[in-house]
Structure 1
Amino acid sequence: MCEVLLIVLRACIIFSIIIVLLVPTDVFSGEVELTLSHYSVDNVVTVNIENNSKIEVFVEDIYIDLDHERYRYSYKGRIMPQETLTHQFHVTTPALQGTYPLTAAVSYLNEGRLLSLKHAAVFNYLENSPADDTCTAESVNTKNSGYIKVKSSNPHSVELILPDELVVMSRTLSSEYALYKVKSLTKGLKNKYPYFAYIEDIRYAKHRTSLCKGYINVDSLSSRRGAVPPYVLLLLSAVFLCVIYFNLMPKAVTLTRYASRMFLVTFSYYLLQNIDSFLDFTLNYIGNYSYHYLVTIALNNFRGSNYSYFFQYFVDLYMAVCLVVTFPYLYYYDNNKAIDQDKYVSLLRSICSVPGIFINKTVYWNKYSKLGMLTYMIKLFYIPYLTSWVINNTIHQNNLTMNFHWGYTAVNEYLTALFIYIDTVVFSFGYIIESKMLRNEIKSAEPTAIGWIVCLWCYPPFNQLSFKIFDYGVIDMTYPRWVVNIVIGLITLLWGIFAWASVTLGAKASNLTNRGIVRRGPYKYVRHPAYTAKIIVWFLQGIFLSQYSLGILLGFTLIYVLRAITEERHLSLDENYLDYKKSVKWKFIPKII
């Protein structure tokens, strides 16, 4: 058993290294969140830059623009997390009284790239003189390039204030708006910028200005959903399905088993690659409001970060490895299983037998077909999420490592992120690789609807709606700093126990399945150590750090207690688990619960 655990740990380490090597360096953009503001009193302009990030930020320059003059301060220093940098500029008063656009900007480094943030306000000299013409700036989403529309009664006079890495390529004017085509000079970046538009004129010996604000979301990350064209995936799926349906080589058991697995891989690739387009298409023909609402949530999920890294860095490699490695593995290491006991072959035979109902034939179905269907659904749901989360956590951990500084809070944040990273790596490995050699073959899957509901409740997109019903009664209390520090240390320790439980499960780690009973590590003391750690963490965060409401905490507890109950009911179908329950009597806390 120790040898198997060692193999799993080594495989997880190799898996993490491969992910790090596959993700190009330009995707490691730091999780920087700066807030820029400024105000003026007489001829003194005060600029505030607040670092709301969890990492320190290196600031190059701070500057302001007023009445066609630029005032620059070369800072070249770091702002620590939750720290505010303040600088004052003494400006020359304008020649005319009235109102002027005043722009403040900060340029900062983000993983070696120089980015900027700008903020605009009005500067009043002697009196406030707004322009008669006004404007309205729309918030937009763009890729590498896109369009900004500013509505105005005088669009010919509209001027833009953009971050330095966005440039205007062209401008189109109409009687009601000015349309600007803008392009990002920085690739591999996803960021949200405020931008400003203003109109100024001179009338009655006064300078007059109107100002408006919008937001532009720039996503210049790759939007491709895998490199293999859909028609190639369909062709491969058809070929593998024909091997099953026509049983071309009845004695070639390994080929049949290989074809069943590869059909599921290629068809799943095609399905996930195009499901958002299918759902989008249905919106044109189904006008029900509830349907539109739910489909919009699903589309945001399929097109969001939970799938982006999966398509960008994983799915093509995964399919290529499966095409090359699966057949020799089945032939040399797993060729003694009867063909009618193979869950994936049974599932495909069931699918192929469905057309027979039109000629009064019975659909092929048995316990292995059911197990194959449930296993396929589990992997189809979890593999994209877990692989995307592993890559995202790799990026996050890389950023934390490169910006690491010693400090009690910083060390605890680093360790907490590391423990969560370890958990995602272990579970991702468990979902991706099912092997007789690792003794992690799926013996059974959760058979009840309630078991699936309470488990999927905790994952997107379902958790976007499911916990709202519990959201009431906000906990808002203040504690001495030493109490908060103790709580932060306890939270880190609990996340360590959570990661310990995941590592102990090793290749058997996955939800809704029985891959064999684990009796080591924290499972020697309680049957659900990971759930215990999570629930206590949430209560500590809710009570002492005011991060969750009382209702949310009760909702978390209810769901995870139900998960424990349904999992035990499922696993109790295994005699080994019944024996395990006799030796480990406590579900959550030793000697208590």
Structure 2
Amino acid sequence: MRDAATSSDCPRSDVSAAVGLVGLAGLLGWIAICRAFPDISAALDLPGPRARLDGPYAALLGLVASGLPMVVWSVFVDRVHRNPSTGLSWSGTQDTGATRSVSFTKLTGLWATWAVLAALYAIGRWYWDGQYLFAMKVLGFAAVPALVLSIPYILWLDRRMENPRDATWHFGAFLLNREAWDKDRVIAHWRAWIIKGFFGAFMISILPGGFAEVVNANPGELASQPGALAVAMISLLFVIDVQIGTVGYVMTLRPLDSHIRSGNPFLAGWVAALLCYPPFVYGVMNAGGLLAYEANAPGWRHWMADSPLLLSVWGGWLVMLTGVYAWATVAFGLRFSNLTYRGVITHGPYRFTRHPAYLSKNLFWWSASLPFLVTDGGPMEAIRNVVGLSLVSAIYYWRARTEEAHLLGEDAKYREYHAWMARQGTITAPLGALTRALGRGRSETLQPAE
């Protein structure tokens, strides 16, 4: 048996690197088709306007273009449906009659959950304004097909599950009050669905904007405007992050081994995460919020406009940071989502640091906004900006620590990975050594003199 404390090998990732890469290839192919559609429609003599496909539904089809290759690769190459962690047995199936009662209870819990989420969407005022209107339209359209398809899916799934009385079943049993149910499983059920409902709607809502910008980008204009190429590349990388991330929220399916195994049980983790997303972020990090950090700070393109070389170098640095951020999402394949445990990722940027997305995102904000350089308000304005962004970074550090606490309690593989990174992670190990050295220095300073 391998000793996690002495092993020099990084634990194997629960998701292969190829899954995210084929999804990325599918997405880039779809973007290329959308950009070239005027020529394609002319060559095929298609009816209708011959314009680029830059609308919200083209962005939505991007989920299919990226998600379908990932599903095909996961099933036919990685054969994830055979993983023991799915909880499925393929050697034999139970009789439908034996599981029909279980399935009915589970459907009761599932449909009641969707009804509660629909009510929460209706009550939440922010869901009926701005970008969220698109998400509500999509979810409303998908409601009836989801209800219909859930019936054969649950009946099929329960015949193959080793223990079909999962968290959704326990919530259904609670509602029907006909069989014994477990309160902890009901809480686990709602943790998972609140995460999926809250973040899923947000991800769908931000699909159209960036997608349209990328499809309509003009190479000629990018070449003539200082820094424009870097900004366009950054926009593309953010679109990749959003598209692949949204697929992760949609494809929480047990046969793909991408189901949510647990939601973060720590209140601190939820608070730290929710502060970073609408509607809570509006009063915290956005312009005018408590931690606003860009007041009178026009950013990198303003200060470097007179130096094309510096502008190009700095733009390249920002593109690299955004690339790491997008890579961190692509590495998850079908399993990206906040506040959840869906397996352990140890490849890609996760070989260098346990939190590549948070690290690169915060470095990007500091490097792009340059909060200490202001056009008005003097030194005090610069100090306010620096303090604000420092506290934003502290929130992300808080998120990272609560996520680690969640995963350390869930999976021995993550504990092994955590220990390996502390010893050999390219970024994590030196930072850990520096922190320990500073801690020892403080301890020696505080020792009483003899």
Query: Is the structural similarity TM-score above 0.5?
Result: yes
Q: 1:567 aligns with which of 389, 400, 403?
A: 403
Change (3 A) 1:536 1:453: same
Q: 2:312 aligns with which of 478, 481, 485?
A: 485
Residue in structure 2 matched with residue 530 of structure 1 by the alignment: 357
Cα distance in 1 between the residues matched to 2:141 and 2:18: 25
Residue in structure 1 matched with residue 204 of structure 2 by the alignment: 387
Q: 1:589 aligns with which of 420, 427, 431?
A: 427
Normalising by structure 1, report the TM-score: 0.51
Letter paired with 1:569:
A
Q: 1:191-590 to 2 correspondence within 5 Å? A: 251-272=100-121, 274-276=122-124, 299=125, 301-312=126-137, 314-332=138-156, 335-337=159-161, 341-353=165-177, 364-400=181-217, 405-407=222-224, 409-467=227-285, 468-471=289-292, 478-479=303-304, 481=307, 482-543=309-370, 546=373, 549-573=385-409, 574-585=411-422, 589-590=427-428
Cα distance in 1 between the residues matched to 2:330 and 2:351: 14
Letter paired with 1:562:
W
Residue in structure 2 matched with residue 227 of structure 1 by the alignment: none
Question: Are the counterparts in 1 of residues 408 and 415 from structure 2 also a CA contact under 8 Å?
Answer: yes
Greater fraction of residues in helix? 2
Cα distance, 1:19 vs structure 2: 11
Instruction: Give the fraction of aligned pairs with identical amino acids, expressed as a percent.
Output: 22
Question: Are the counterparts in 1 of residues 100 and 155 from structure 2 also a CA contact under 8 Å?
Answer: no
Question: Are the counterparts in 2 of residues 346 and 365 from structure 1 also a CA contact under 8 Å?
Answer: yes
Cα distance in 1 between the residues matched to 2:336 and 2:272: 18
Question: Are the counterparts in 2 of residues 525 and 590 from structure 1 also a CA contact under 8 Å?
Answer: yes
Cα distance, 1:343 vs structure 2: 1.4
Cα distance, 1:332 vs structure 2: 4.0
Normalising by structure 2, report the TM-score: 0.65
Change (3 A) 1:349 1:466: farther
Question: Are the counterparts in 2 of residues 500 and 522 from structure 1 also a CA contact under 8 Å?
Answer: yes
Cα distance in 2 between the residues matched to 1:533 and 1:364: 43
Cα distance in 2 between the residues matched to 1:332 and 1:14: 29
Cα distance, 1:424 vs structure 2: 0.9
Q: Which has the higher contact order (CA 8 A, sep 6+)?
A: 2
Change (3 A) 1:413 1:542: closer
Question: Are the counterparts in 2 of residues 19 and 391 from structure 1 also a CA contact under 8 Å?
Answer: no
Letter paired with 1:469:
L
Note the alpha carbon deviations across 1:319-357, whole angstroms, 9 max, x for none.
Answer: 24423443444444563335664112212333444xx9x
Question: Which 10-residue stretch deviates more, 478-487 or 560-569?
Answer: 478-487
Cα distance in 1 between the residues matched to 2:281 and 2:208: 21
Question: Are the counterparts in 2 of residues 269 and 315 from structure 1 also a CA contact under 8 Å?
Answer: no
Cα distance, 1:271 vs structure 2: 3.9
Cα distance in 2 between the residues matched to 1:438 and 1:401: 39
- Residue 256 of structure 2 aligns to a residue in which SS? coil
Cα distance in 1 between the residues matched to 2:189 and 2:370: 44
Letter paired with 1:265:
W
Change (3 A) 1:259 1:553: same
Change (3 A) 1:553 1:328: same
Cα distance, 1:387 vs structure 2: 0.6
Change (3 A) 1:391 1:324: farther
Note the alpha carbon deviations across 1:115-139, whole angstroms, 9 max, x for none.
Answer: xxxxxxxxxxxxxxxxxxxxxxxxx
Greater fraction of residues in strand? 1
Letter paired with 1:368:
R
Cα distance in 2 between the residues matched to 1:421 and 1:458: 18
Q: 1:31-70 to 2 correspondence within 5 Å? A: none
Cα distance in 1 between the residues matched to 2:359 and 2:131: 26
